[in-house]
Structure 1
Amino acid sequence: MGTKEQGSELPPAAQPDDRIKLNVGGKLFETTVRTLQSAGPDSLLAALSLRSPATAAGPVFIDRDPDLFSALLSLLRSGRLPSSAAARRFSEQDLLDEALYYGLDSRLRAATAPPPLLGFDAFLSATLISSYGWTLAHAGTLRTHLDDIASLRRVCPEVAALGSLDSPGLHFYHVAGGRHVGSVHWSDPTDPRVYKARVTAIAAAGDAVFAAFECPHRENCVLAVDPETLRVAAEIGRQSGSMVKSAAPGRLAHVRELGLVFASAVSAGAFGYSGYMRLWDPRSGRPCGRRASPEGPG
């Protein structure tokens, strides 16, 4: 049998609660292996955490800004950036550049991202669309060919669907590229009342865009549009519009869990408010539930 040579034993691996000292720009920081590894397996800090305390010869020197590192270390410890004045004086770009160096930019983005905005990422004003990034920093403004934009929905990260109160049709714009992609119109050769239909509401479902169209004579429906080909896939819930309870929807939403489209309309009159809430099945084109509010005092 062979004998174990002296000095061949490997040093013990670092444990989650072991302390590690880092010298960042001449300032000493002390933290734990667990905190550094929370930066992610591919980060620089996680790699430094693998050093065994038994073989470490003093703190690791990192030639970076210690104040920026302090803010990022607080992010790893608590999941958010500190609210101290020292942290607030840094710009978003300063923090992002430093986070990229250490390999924890995804943690920074998650901590500073605003709450979900229900798919909206643009601001509507007359003929303009202003787009914003993940930190709500202004990314650019696009002038469209439309007037009085009233409906907008993000179809994919780069494409938005728009509707106008003055111009018929559903219009698609590549926001980053600054160009008009195409338009979809509601038409029916068998019904002369269907013409110049404007869009009153838009919803997106990944593989389909749902848009409520209304003609000058109030005939209305919801069209399901393929966002890849910009072709109409189905006509849903055609209504005459002659009554409040058959008016064009003012709001659409896709209920992903049920595979249904929610539509609602509200009208104000001398005796208060009236309208409806309805669920449409895009596969059959028929309503599968309805709740209408009778006219009455508001």
Structure 2
Amino acid sequence: MPPFAGPPLQKTQFCHPKRETPNIITLNVGGQIFQTSPQTLTLAGPNSLLCTLTTSSLGSIPFIDRDPDLFSILLTLLRTGTLPSRAKVLDPEDLIHEAQFYNIEHLLISAITDPSSFYPLNLQKTLILPINGRDSPSAIATHQDGSVLVSHGSKITAFDWSLRRKTSFLTEFPAIDSLLFLSPSVAAAGASDYSGVKILDINSGLGIKTLNWDNPIYSTVQAIGASPEFLFASFESCRKNSNLIQVFDRESFRPLIDLGHEEKQGVEIGSAIPATKLNWVSSQALLMASGSYSGPFGCVGSIKLWDIRSGSRVAEIKENEDCFADVTVNDGIWGLFKVGLVSGEVYMMDLRRLGSSERWVSLGEGCSKVMNGNGKREGVNSKIVGHGNSVFCSRGENVEVWSEVLMGGKEKEGVFRKNVMGRREKVGQSKITQLDFGGNRMVLARKDEQAIEVWQGSGTNFVNWGWN
């Protein structure tokens, strides 16, 4: 018997607003009777079988030859937007397959990986996902639906949003340094010693397109980034004497504009530093490009903000004293954040005052280590990422989360408080090398480990939902 039996459906009946609709819809699923409202079923979306039932049950009770217990879970999902507690005893794969049958998998994804359920102070390690081969992760990319891409050696491994299904494929890169989701099925990848940004089909592992800087000699990729409309790529010539940022249309991959074409002048270490990190500042429609150079006489760096519509640079911050080990931007709290290479301290600069004489403000103990001149580089290899209304900084084997706390008074003033995650973990863990966020998840990689860690909040839906 086919899964659905009942009066034949016409294509024109799909949620047709003019057709008479009953106040109560009665369904027979696997021999069990369910009743619900047409408004609930329409929440499944116009392409779902459930939506068609709002107009097909006049004068009869449609029969769906599926599991009634699984249908009951999905009906609760439609009614409330969340999964009931009884779903914890199910095999997630069964519920995923059932959601795919009714074409409401997008609702299941939203319930499990909803970014609004991300609470930084509740994060705990819930999964360790192994990757094949002997290479450690060199780059991580996450999607807003919670899916993850990991590059290791010349391979990329993709974990779907449920983190239960993974696929791996070879690329032409000897190693991958930059990795970015463009959609759930398309990624961009680049390498600092290999020419071109590769646009890849994640499902097949095949290349779709290669984006190059039209340079007389081949150019390598130092960083990639994206906004809802554009793809950005930082290129450097193989002779390391020139660089630029190229802006592409995100849909067609057509080149649109070049930013900051620089040529190296003489032996000055601060000239023509390529951008090695690209962040989109959505609140101001600006691109942040940062890069640094470390030599025998110290480290210098540059942070630039670009208006990509006009191609003009609107601000530049030159770094020399305690140059950044890493830098990020957080729209939610209007700040640029860096971790000092020498001090290891976290600093903030107000995004709204970049045109003035605004300076970095330490969020921690200040720059005493810099002033002491002990010669150590406390911040080396640290990563800093803004997500939600918090900033996360990897420090050795742990992650610090900096959150803004509003103080009382006539004019409420925000101060930042630090919490260290992972203190209860075993001593002697490897240092963190990669850090990223997607949906309600934090994903990280550690030195010399062939796996990635997934952290979720203890208050989110089904943190340990069948994955342990």
Query: TM-score scaled by structure 1?
Result: 0.68
Distance in 2 between residues matched to 1:229 and 1:73, nearest whole Å = 39
Q: Which residue of 2 aligns with 1:168?
A: 195
Tell me if 1:135 matches 2:168: no
Q: Secondary structure at the match of 2:194?
A: coil
3-state SS of paired residue (1:148): coil
Whole-angstrom CA distance in 2 between matches of 1:186 and 1:41: 43
Distance between the aligned counterparts of 2:47 and 2:235, measured in 1? 50
- Out of 80, 83, 100, the residue aligned to residue 81 of structure 1 is 83
27-36 or 149-158: bigger deviation: 27-36
Q: Within 5 A, what are the aligned runs for 1:44-59?
A: none
Q: Equivalent of 1:209, from 231, 236, 243?
A: 231
Contact 1:79–1:111, Cα closer than 8 Å, also in 2: yes
Q: Which residue of 2 aligns with 1:224?
A: 247
> What's the counterpart of residue 71 of structure 1?
73
Q: What's the counterpart of residue 8 of structure 1?
A: none
Q: Does residue 220 of structure 2 align to residue 198 of structure 1?
A: yes
Partner of 1:153: 180
Query: 1:125 and 1:75, CA in 2 relative to 1: closer, same or farther beyond 3 A?
Result: same
Partners of 2:44 and 2:75 lie apart in 1 by: 9
1:183–1:230: 8 Å Cα contact kept in structure 2?
Answer: no
Corresponding residue of 2:262: 239
Q: Secondary structure at the match of 1:108?
A: helix
> If you compute each CA radius of gyration, which structure gives the higher value, 1 or 2?
1
- Give structure 2 stretches of 5+ with no counterpart: 1-20, 116-141, 323-341, 344-468
The change in CA–CA distance for 1:214 and 1:118 in structure 2 (over 3 A counts) is farther
Which amino acid in the other structure matches residue 163 of structure 1? G
Determine if the alignment matches structure 1 residue 249 to structure 2 residue 275: yes
**Structure 1: 5+ residue stretches without partners:** 1-12, 190-194
For residues 191 and 214 of structure 2, what CA distance do their matches in structure 1 show?
Answer: 17
Aligned counterpart for 1:278 among listed residues 304, 310, 313: 304
The residue aligned with 2:91 is: 90
> 2:110 and 2:240 mapped to 1: Cα distance?
48
What residue is the counterpart of 1:9 in the other structure?
none
Q: 1:103 to 1:129 in 2, by over 3 A?
A: closer
Paired AA for residue 213 in structure 1? F
Relative to the length of structure 2, the TM-score reads: 0.47
Matched position secondary structure for 2:111: helix
The size of the alignment, in residue pairs, is 274
- Deviation, structure 1 residue 225: 3.9
Q: Which amino acid aligns with 2:173?
A: L
Identity %: 34
Does residue 108 of structure 2 align to residue 108 of structure 1? yes
Distance 1:64 1:252, change over 3 A: same
Paired position in structure 2 for 1:7? none
- Describe the superposition over 1:73-97 as per-residue Cα deviations: whole angstroms up to 9, x where unpaired: 321232122233x5442333x2244
Aligned to 1:292: 318
C-alpha separation between the residues in 2 aligned to 1:276 and 1:230? 28
> Amino acid of the residue matched to residue 66 of structure 1?
P
Distance (Å, rounded) in 1 between the aligned partners of 2:310 and 2:81: 47
Q: Give the AA of the match of 1:183.
A: T
2:282 is equivalent to residue 260 of structure 1: no
Give CA deviations for 1:213-236 in whole Å, capped at 9, x if unaligned: 223435322123456776654321
AA in 1 matched with 2:245: V
**Per the alignment, do residues 286 and 33 of structure 1 end up closer, same or farther by CA in structure 2, a change over 3 Å counting?**
closer
What is the distance in 2 between the residues matched to 1:175 and 1:105? 19
Q: Deviations over 1:171-197 (max 9, x none)?
A: 3334434333443444555xxxxx443
* Aligned-partner Cα distance in 2 for 1:184–1:41: 37
Q: 1:56 to 1:283 in 2, by over 3 A?
A: closer
Maintained 8 Å contact 1:169/1:199: yes
| Partner secondary structure for residue 85 of structure 2 | coil
Does the residue aligned with 1:162 lie in a helix, a strand or coil? strand
SS at match of 2:195: coil
Give the 3-state SS of the residue equivalent to 2:73 in structure 1: helix
Amino acid of the structure 2 residue aligned with 1:278: K
Q: Flag the 1:135–1:24 CA change in 2: closer, same or farther, 3 A.
A: same
Aligned residues of 2:193 and 2:221 also touching (Cα < 8 A) = no
1:168/1:196 contact within 8 Å kept: yes
Relative CO higher for 1 or 2, CA cutoff 8 Å, sep ≥ 6? 2
CA contact (8 A) 1:21 1:28 kept: yes
